[in-house]
Amino acid sequence: MPVKTLKDIDVKNKTVLVRVDFNVPMENGEITDDNRIVQALPTLQKLLDDGAKVVCFSHLGRIKTREDKKGKSLDVVARRLGEALNREVVFVPHTRGQALEQAVEALRPGEIMMFENTRFEDADGRKESKNDPELGKYWASLGDIFVNDAFGTAHRAHASNVGIAAHIEESAAGYLLEREIKHIGDAIEHPKRPFVAILGGIKVSDKIGVIRSFLQRADKVLIGGGMSYTFMKAQGFEIGESVVEDDKIDLARTLLAEGEGKLHLPEDFKLTKEFSNDAPIRIAARDDFRRDEMGLDIGPKTLARYGELLSDAKTVVWNGPVGVFEMPNFAQGTEGICKALAALEDATTVIGGGDSAAAAISLGYADQFTHISTGGGASLEFMEGKPLPGIGCLDTL
């Protein structure tokens, strides 16, 4: 059943609790990439324009002890949000208590506030991430309506999503979550064909379910990245010092058998003897690895062949870079995939979050795709066809 969205709720003069995903990268106390804040702006602006009293909240980093809280306050995020919205964002450095309750009570329609990192509740017993019922009920008591716009945590049942939704009268998806549901859901469940999946990244084990899902749903599955070498070793090839999951060799053989005729592996690679951008590079076929070499990117023949396999695609879903794109000399494979997808006409192209999303954005292709997901693990589980608790908890139409 479709969930309620912003168009289905009346927020005027209501206190709206908005779970956002502001788990932004930080360095020396400064935000290094504010994309997640920018992505949330349409939802927050719509609520403010419609006369809601907005209370937004998020996690930042992983917190298991009180010591972990150091440097993880959302105060700097609240300031950046205020700059982006061009209005004051009141920040309350607490996750519960009288100061928080008074700040919520003081809000007027069209005003916004943010309270402290929800994971601070995990410093004393994992109350947020274990969906403590008392905590979810308390947070729900602060508002009238719950809006979930944090796709990045939708695969987790936390107090700040499932817990609140269970104890509040009305709930709905924000614009960002609505887009994720539409674009990933449509691409997986109702793809225009040919439907091609591209899977990269380091580990086969991270994507077993996704690989199997795409072998059933897609017309072609293209493999790249570190997981290539586990498949190659399963085929009996020498892979030198390349990354490999030896305990997944048998699984890789099984997947190769299941994907016969549909699963495509690289045929050449960029090889080097050091994990360094400046190390000498040799391009070699998959049967020409030397024992002291490692593969860090797909080669030009593979890129050309993958381009041909993609040329008539009408739906493409991509998760995981095909090389070490952080090093310019090993980014050509991933950038080549970006170029091939950007050149497709009348095709739906979806990047499933995580490193592939970071690669597309850093390489300058952020506007060349139908949709770039904001979720890593959530995207993977959604692609696999698993129900996501952060979506399932919302009111349906």
Strand-pair category, 268-272 with 294-298: antiparallel
Distance between CA atoms of residues 11 and 52, nearest Å: 5
Task: Check 200, 224, 295, 354 and give the catalytic one.
Answer: 354
Q: Identify the residue whose tokens are 């107090």.
A: 159
Task: Check 126, 203, 253, 273 and give the catalytic one.
Answer: 203
Sign of the dihedral defined by the CA atoms of residues 244, 332, 349, 59, in that order: positive
Is 36 an active-site residue? yes
Distance between CA atoms of residues 293 and 49, nearest Å: 58
The answer to whether residues 239 and 295 touch, using CB atoms and an 8 Å cutoff, is yes
Q: Within 13 Å and on the Cβ side, how many CA atoms surround 153?
A: 27
Is 203 an active-site residue? yes
Burial class (CB in 10 A: 0-12, 13-18, 19+), 367: exposed
Distance between CA atoms of residues 268 and 272, nearest Å: 13
Q: Enter the DSSP assignment of 343.
A: T
Beta-strand runs (E) in 292-379: 294-298, 315-319, 348-351, 371-372
Question: Letter for the amino acid at 392?
Answer: G
Coil, strand, or helix at residue 123?
helix
Is 179 an active-site residue? no
Q: Enter the DSSP assignment of 365.
A: -
Selection from 283, 296, 299, 62 nearest residue 202 by Cα: 296
Is 377 an active-site residue? yes
Sign of the dihedral defined by the CA atoms of residues 232, 238, 241, 247, in that order: positive
Task: Check 14, 19, 36, 207 and give the catalytic one.
Answer: 36
Distance between CA atoms of residues 351 and 158, nearest Å: 25
Task: Check 377, 385, 386, 392 and give the catalytic one.
Answer: 377
Q: Which residues are catalytic?
A: 36, 203, 354, 377
